[in-house]
Structure 1
Amino acid sequence: MVGEVKTFGSYEFTREEILAFAREFDPQPMHLDEAAGAASLLGGLAASGWHTCAVMMRLVCEGFLERSAGMGSPGVTENKWKAPVFPGDVLTLRRTVLESRTSKSRPEMGLVTFRFEMLKPDRSVALDAVCVIMIGRRNPGARLA
């Protein structure tokens, strides 16, 4: 339902995971070294934004997507890293339904636009992403309200 807001799960970022992800996928100094992180705009060793996105996807799957008739996604329309994520930060996923419509070419499929926000403990937003997810409809012939 458009306007629906729900919160799902939480995840603690550890120093070890931040370093391991950075070594494997985003080997920039601010993600690999405390001194380099402290000297950067981030102000300390910080998780890669892509690490934060990967955790967001895990929380999306565990929170609701694994129990839905998900059919994939045509893409992310917006992705903003708004605050650094430091070791020990526990982020929570907030999901807001922005739009829901039936596919014109495939009436058995709905297209739902979500805003996903990864919230820090003080409720500030670390990651803000807008994504469309294709979801199978229970009653393909029925009109959406």
Structure 2
Amino acid sequence: MPQDRYLEDIVPGETSTGAPIAITREAVVAFATEFDPQPMHIDNAAASEGRFGGLIASGWHVASLVMRDFVLSAPFGGTPLLGIRMDNLCWLLPVRPGDILIATREVLEVVRSSKNPAYGRIRMSTTVVNQTGAVAMTMETLIQIPVRGD
């Protein structure tokens, strides 16, 4: 795991890239069966006749995989983070079984809290591309992170 990083260590403009995320048919169907049971996510026949021409992953499944990738890639090490908000979540392309996704994150803003100076906020943008480089999903997140302890 990378070294723990705190608010003072983070600068706007820095980027990090996660590991490749493989999308499998089994995972698409399993996630959708439990959380988003629409035909385009769980039924091959219905999906092939629908507007996407085949099975696609739930956007919520993709967002969950990107979150898991963020936690596992640990760009701030083991420093405890708290998600405060997600804005501008956009699903721009269908994600299909067989796709390989890559998430790249950029720090947009770093601000120390005036209410609780032991913490600060990091605003980040995330762009998720598929194996052809086409953008499949974007979002912005606001994360609380501690300052370095004394």
Q: Could you tell me the TM-score, scaled by structure 1's length? A: 0.89
Q: Does 1:100 align with 2:101?
A: no
Deviations 1:2-61 (A, max 9, x none): 112221111101101101111111000100112322333323100000000110000010
Deviation at 1:79, TM superposition (A): 0.6
Q: Which residue of 2 aligns with 1:143?
A: none
SS of the aligned residue for 2:125 comes to strand
RMSD in angstroms over aligned alpha carbons? 1.7
Letter in 2 for 1:25: F
Q: Which residue of 2 aligns with 1:21?
A: 31
Q: Does 1:136 align with 2:122?
A: no
Residue pairs, 1:1-145, within 5 angstroms: 1-64=11-74, 67-138=77-148
Is the CA contact (8 Å cut-off) linking 1:96 and 1:116 kept in structure 2? yes
Gaps of 5+ in 2: 1-10
Is the CA contact (8 Å cut-off) linking 1:93 and 1:119 kept in structure 2? yes
- Alpha-carbon spacing, 1:53–1:67, altered in 2? closer, same or farther (3 Å): same
Deviation at 1:65, TM superposition (A): 5.5
Deviation at 1:119, TM superposition (A): 1.3
What is the aligned-residue identity percentage? 35
CA–CA distance in structure 1, aligned partners of residues 133 and 126 of structure 2: 13
Deviations 1:68-104 (A, max 9, x none): 4233121112211011110011111100111111111
Deviations 1:82-139 (A, max 9, x none): 1111001111110011111111111111200111122101111111111001111116
Q: Could you tell me the TM-score, scaled by structure 2's length? A: 0.86
SS of the aligned residue for 1:118 comes to strand
CA–CA distance in structure 2, aligned partners of residues 81 and 47 of structure 1: 11
SS of the aligned residue for 1:9 comes to coil
